[in-house]
Chain A
Amino acid sequence: MALFRSKRIRRTRDGRFELRLPAEERQLLATLAPQLKALIEEEGGEPSLRRLFPTAYANDAEADAEYQRLMRDDLVASRLATLDIVVETATQTSVSEDELVAWMSAINALRLVLGTRLDVSETLDIEQEVADDHPMASAYAVYGWLSFVLEEIVAALSS
């Protein structure tokens, strides 16, 4: 798909990163990020969120309860902060490295939640044909796009 061929993120000589996203994609992110923020803040025990806040002690429920008691708020704050940065910088033409790392984290979080909802498996081919009238067609498209942008971010940070 030609849409996926041009580099979306590019390291520039001044140590920043150029964001070459079309307006619709920026808008999409500016819409998705606050949605995830709201979901996290709801604390409603939404199943797809569990992937963002996993257990730390697999073999010790008591130790894990203690760990979560101490660390959960920090993890929530960290996740919300990265989503805030995406919203704040969504319309910018460039971002700092720290901001791009926040983008990476936020976009991965969106993938995790969406991927959990779509129940993706390792054999899912991102570009597979999903019928236009499939009820989750747009969700698969968004998931594929998030994956693509994340790959671009990792490549840019590694460059």
Chain B
Amino acid sequence: MPPGCHEETIGSSIVRASTPAPGTTIVDEPTTDSVVDPDIPWIVLVWNDPINLMSYVTFVFQKLFGYSREKATQLMLDVHHKGRAVVSSGSREKAELDVFRLHEHGLWATMQQDR
């Protein structure tokens, strides 16, 4: 599995990509941007902000993606020192779900194609 790519997590409560959480509608197909290439994976970035606590960010990465404490800490430090870090990648649908869960936890996350 390429680094940063994560399909399922054990012990987390994430909804599998094929069954969206009740009440949500996941966009299946790119509907707006005509230059979107469906073969290029989508990446999710988390951006640094002055408010979120380092311990909190690390914990959220562990909780949402099942990363080890070491990996989650490294990602958090990347966000902190470099301004942003890629925390996951995959299909557009998965990226939107990951962004949503990160927003739920108050992290500043965006998604884009990995060009």
Closest Cβ of chain B to A48, distance in Å, is 11
Closest Cβ of chain A to B104, distance in Å, is 5
Interface membership of B18, Cβ < 8 A? no
Q: DSSP majority for the A interface?
A: helix
Q: Which residues of B contact A116 (CB under 8 A)?
A: 51
- Verify A58–B112 contact, CB threshold 8 A: yes
8 Å CB contact of A108 from B26, B106, B111: B106
Closest Cβ of chain A to B98, distance in Å, is 10
- Verify A58–B110 contact, CB threshold 8 A: yes
Which residue of chain A has the shortest Cβ distance to B49 in the bound complex? A51
Closest Cβ of chain A to B22, distance in Å, is 9
Closest Cβ of chain A to B49, distance in Å, is 8
Name which of B31, B109, B110 has the most chain A CB atoms within 10 A of its CB. B110
Q: Given contacts A63-B32, A121-B50, are A70 and B56 in contact (CB under 8 A)?
A: no
Q: DSSP majority for the B interface?
A: loop
Chain B: number of interface residues, binned into ranges: 20 to 34
Query: For chain A residues 33-83, which have a beta carbon within 8 Å of chain B?
Result: 51-60, 62-63, 66-67, 70-71, 73-75, 77-79
Cβ proximity bits B22-66 to A, threshold 8 Å, 1 near / 0 not:
011111001111000000000001000111110110010000000
8 Å CB contact of B112 from A59, A151, A154, A157: A59
Closest Cβ of chain A to B55, distance in Å, is 5
Q: Which residues of A contact B33 (CB under 8 A)?
A: 60, 62-63
Q: Which residues of B contact A63 (CB under 8 A)?
A: 30, 32-33
8 Å CB contact of B55 from A51, A66, A122, A155: A155
Interface membership of B85, Cβ < 8 A? no
Interface membership of B103, Cβ < 8 A? yes
Which residue of chain B has the shortest Cβ distance to A55 in the bound complex? B110
Q: Given contacts A112-B51, A120-B51, are A75 and B104 in contact (CB under 8 A)?
A: yes
Name which of B21, B31, B59 has the most chain A CB atoms within 10 A of its CB. B59
- Verify A62–B53 contact, CB threshold 8 A: no
> Can you show 17 pairs from A to B with CB atoms below 8 A apart?
A56-B100, A57-B110, A59-B112, A60-B32, A62-B32, A63-B32, A67-B96, A70-B25, A71-B24, A73-B23, A75-B103, A75-B104, A105-B105, A105-B106, A108-B106, A116-B51, A120-B50
